[in-house]
Structure 1
Amino acid sequence: MGKKLIIVGRSEFIMSEFKNCNLLALMPCPLKVPFERLITTYLRKKEREGVYLDCTIVANANTHLSFYEEIDNFQDIKEIPDIIISPGLNNLFYHDFYDKFIRPGYFRNPIKYDFEDNFVEIGYQDSRNNYTMFTMNLLVLVVNTARLKGARVPLKFADLLADNYYQNVAIRGRDEFICETVLLNFYKEYGLAGIKKLSYNVREGLHPSQMVKKAKSNSEEDEAIYVMPYFFARTLINHKKIEVIWPEDGALINAISMLVKKDITLEVKELARYIAGPELGNLFARAAFPVANPAVEINVYKKNKFKWLGWDFIRQNDLRKVMEEITAYYLSFQN
């Protein structure tokens, strides 16, 4: 029998337990339940056709750090599931993994669209066809205008470096984990000086659900400005005293990628195509995760700007070393 294993309530993740999986997916919180539902339906359909696929969906929000750390333990391509889905520019993009498994050509994007993908103008897809960039999590600004203390509403991410937002900003993070999308983009554009200014202005790191609660609270002690996923921000659009800002310099793209082995069965390749196909694509887009598939309508996003870190930066820099350096520098200015 084929099986779908959902990991629930485990904070420690042991990658070696899942090396024989056809699919291992670490999904952003808002997508986990609907993704699980459609994948379950797909697997049942395939079982009726005599096709059995072993899929694992990581369902614990606290598992992501150990998930990423376990990637470093891969020594052989046989230890890696056929398909890995993960959010963010994580260990799968670090030079260690790239040199061991990407450069030799073990992974290949199996997705071919009939037309140009939805984000061709910003170069979101990997031109070397190793990584499959099929959807994205967008970060925007949410502002409680009652707490700005006389400062103007920030209209772009660059504004967050202004002195008058001191200790009045929150970004995604917990303990010593800071959102890599925010740090890397600020470092790319403003260097270490920008990281220092950002750290001065950020009071704390929060989960997006905590940001929503604080943004609409009546407490004057909570921050005025929040960098949060659009999925969460859109729930605050009509809330009194709150402005949801699509930044003039573009919503930050937190990548959601899929790595697909080159040497896989037709059935696994069909699974990858289903994941990047219109059925799941429409589900993602409705949840504020626009997709690359041109068969999915995303006009609501097309009129806006996007800020993507870019493949040149990703390939030219060892993101592990960069993140270690800028995270330590950022934390050194936190109170």
Structure 2
Amino acid sequence: MNQIQMTDTILAITEAHPQTVDVLVAYGLDKLQNPALRQSLGKTMTLATLCKLRQLDGAALLTALNAVVKPTAEGVRIKGILPCPIRIPLMDKITPFVEQSPVPIDHTLPAASTGLDWLMAESESKEQLADVYLSAGFDLFFNHNGMGKFAKEGVFAPLDVAYNNDFDNDHISLRDPKGIYTVLGMVPAIFMVNKAELGQRPMPKSWQDLFSPIYSDSIAIPMKDLDLFNAVLLGIYHRYGQEGVAQLGSNILKSMHPAQMVKNASANRAPAVSVAPYFFASMLPEGGDMVAVWPEDGAIVSPVFLVAKADSLARSQPLIDFLTSKEIGTVLASNGRFPSTVAGVDNSLTGNEPFLFCGFDFLHSCDVDTCLKTLEAVFLGKEEV
């Protein structure tokens, strides 16, 4: 109960706002100091009935009651999907914060494997939107019929978040110049190369190398991991155009989940080159046939985005501050091997690891959803360049 109404019962009013008892007493209703009386009589008696029986100025009493009522804190809703390997460590930090928050926080943050359909359905109208979204991938945020439309309408607030030098420098910037989209971390896509399957062919050192016919039927990309797959499509298209997307697609052997790539490495059944998140590549056993290769033209970046509604920013700010804190950034960087943009976080990078990102100028200037559908068709050979 935020504002008292004449139709509210005396019990409901005094239970929700104990400070109103003093106001009622000041209006000559001394007997209402008795909790038992409030429980019995007040259970069915409305404020309007009480005023009529005691011939009180209902409007004046209502104003006096509402003057001492402090609005009940509205809650904050956060929704999104989290990369599977890092979800548990992140939730281990987020859950205690939610439990200790003075403002109620309703959070729905399942693993990315659950898909985006449920989020897409809930973002069809402005009224359905949560206050904060924390989610991996491009699909949700840059769809011109969904989140992208709301971003253009000014529904989301520009956020001023400090980035570290790893991802805000002369070579790469993950900072949105409009401030709407905050990148908290990313999944870098690199290569896992099976030397036994590679044979006499040269070790691929770049994405451009993978366009060569010598790698025909030799490359695996986890197409079911839409976040990573879409990032690869956009990254290759941004750097090498549709021809690069088509050439990479023509060399694909199969789609395989990154965990399968690691498992198959020991069985010698993996393709010659597997595109995989750095997290999985870092799990490769030493001395085996499978080795990790960081592309010279850059590990393709699949970002984890944060956006917040403008009209609830005041309530959401403590949660946003926490999500952009060094504490969360360190979890991303250390436990999940997902480099973080958060200022002050040590990503354990040497400074020689290049990254490939399609850039916010591109993301703001096109309908990413339509672009991805076209690029997927080109990749699969269903549409000519």
TM-score category of the 2 structures, normalised to the smaller one: 0.7 to 0.9
Q: Which residue of 1 aligns with 2:16?
A: none
Query: d(CA) in 2 for partners of 1:171 and 1:200?
Result: 12
| Identity over aligned pairs, percent | 28
Q: Residue 78 of structure 1: CA displacement?
A: 2.1
Q: Which residue of 2 aligns with 1:269?
A: 317
| Amino acid of the structure 2 residue aligned with 1:143 | V
Q: Which residue of 1 aligns with 2:111?
A: 59
Q: Which runs of 4+ in 1 moved over 4 A?
A: 175-178
Q: Secondary structure at the match of 2:146?
A: helix
Distance 1:137 1:301, change over 3 A: farther
Distance 1:327 1:178, change over 3 A: farther
Structure 1 stretches of 5 or more lacking a match?
A: 1-19
Contact 2:225 2:257 in 1 (8 A): no
Q: Which has the higher contact order (CA 8 A, sep 6+)?
A: 1
Alignment partner of 1:179 is 2:229: yes
Q: Secondary structure at the match of 1:228?
A: strand
Alignment partner of 1:320 is 2:369: yes
Correspondence 1:241-320 to 2 at 5 A: 241-264=289-312, 266-286=314-334, 287-300=336-349, 302-320=351-369
Structure 2 stretches of 5 or more lacking a match?
A: 1-74
Contact 2:138 2:227 in 1 (8 A): no
Query: d(CA) in 2 for partners of 1:178 and 1:273?
Result: 27
Q: Residue 86 of structure 1: CA displacement?
A: 1.3
Q: Which residue of 2 aligns with 1:15?
A: none
Query: d(CA) in 1 for partners of 2:328 and 2:367?
Result: 32
Contact 2:120 2:146 in 1 (8 A): no
Q: Which residue of 2 aligns with 1:196?
A: 246
| Amino acid of the structure 2 residue aligned with 1:181 | A
Q: Residue 243 of structure 1: CA displacement?
A: 1.6
Distance 1:110 1:117, change over 3 A: farther
Query: d(CA) in 2 for partners of 1:35 and 1:332?
Result: 39
| Amino acid of the structure 2 residue aligned with 1:180 | N
Alignment partner of 1:139 is 2:168: no
Distance 1:274 1:117, change over 3 A: farther
Query: d(CA) in 1 for partners of 2:145 and 2:165?
Result: 29
Query: d(CA) in 1 for partners of 2:78 and 2:165?
Result: 24
Query: d(CA) in 1 for partners of 2:90 and 2:228?
Result: 26
Distance 1:99 1:151, change over 3 A: closer
Correspondence 1:90-129 to 2 at 5 A: 90-97=139-146, 100-113=149-162, 118-121=166-169, 122-129=172-179
Q: Residue 177 of structure 1: CA displacement?
A: 9.3
Query: d(CA) in 1 for partners of 2:326 and 2:226?
Result: 38
Q: Which has the higher strand share?
A: 1
Distance 1:94 1:175, change over 3 A: closer
Distance 1:238 1:175, change over 3 A: closer
Q: Residue 112 of structure 1: CA displacement?
A: 3.1
Q: Secondary structure at the match of 1:302?
A: coil
Contact 1:68 1:90 in 2 (8 A): no
> How big is each residue's C-alpha offset from its partner over 1:169-201, in whole Å with a ceiling of 9 and x where there is no partner?
111213999811111222223333222221121
Q: Which residue of 1 aligns with 2:84?
A: 29
Query: d(CA) in 2 for partners of 1:51 and 1:21?
Result: 7
Q: Residue 301 of structure 1: CA displacement?
A: 5.1
| Structure-1-length-normalised TM-score | 0.84
Q: Secondary structure at the match of 1:139?
A: strand
Query: d(CA) in 1 for partners of 2:345 and 2:241?
Result: 37
Q: Residue 242 of structure 1: CA displacement?
A: 1.8
Contact 2:112 2:136 in 1 (8 A): no
Alignment partner of 1:163 is 2:213: yes
Query: d(CA) in 2 for partners of 1:202 and 1:136?
Result: 24
Q: Residue 96 of structure 1: CA displacement?
A: 2.7
> How big is each residue's C-alpha offset from its partner over 1:249-283, in whole Å with a ceiling of 9 and x where there is no partner?
11110011011111225442111111111111111
| Amino acid of the structure 1 residue aligned with 2:89 | P
Rg: which structure is higher?
2
